[in-house]
Amino acid sequence: MHNSEEIISQLKQSTDLDAMALVAMAEAGSDLSKPHSPEFSFQTDFKAVAEAIENELSNLGYGIVIYEPDDEAPYFEIEASCVMVLELEKLKNISAAFKALAAKYRASYDGWGAEVVE
């Protein structure tokens, strides 16, 4: 694993959700210097809103999957994915932009997750 102990130590001191997610990734064995495929999640009750968010994110180059409501999740879930090195400043910028996008459509942004890459 190529995670600088100093960087991880600094991230652990943060209350930022993106920083905490990076710490969890590193502690799970992920090499943060390598590209990952994070999935960013949005939720809405309306298909038209899901499709509008899909359109905006597709235009930004994200891969999109929309999940229809079901018994476990009674809402539309939009997952946007890309390949990137997980860097805190980039993730904070994406999170801020995605929170604004969700607010624009009265949807919710539920954050991101990624598989461990060793």
- pLDDT per residue over 52-106, tens digit each? 999 999 999 999 999 999 999 999 999 999 999 999 999 999 999 999 999 999 9
Q: For the domain 34-113, what is the CATH superfamily, name and number? A: RraB-like (3.30.70.970)
**pLDDT value of position 3:** 59
What is the pLDDT at residue 1? 42
Q: What is the pLDDT of residue 14?
A: 82
pLDDT for 11 equals 79
Domain spans of the chain? Answer: 34-113
pLDDT at 37: 97
What is the tens place of the pLDDT at every residue in 4-52? 676 777 778 888 899 999 999 998 999 999 999 999 999 999 999 999 9
- Torsion angle, CA of 48/49/51/54, rounded to 10 degrees? 180
> What pLDDT does residue 4 have?
63
Sign of CA dihedral 94, 98, 101, 103: negative
Angle between helices 17-27 and 5-12 (to 10 degrees): 140
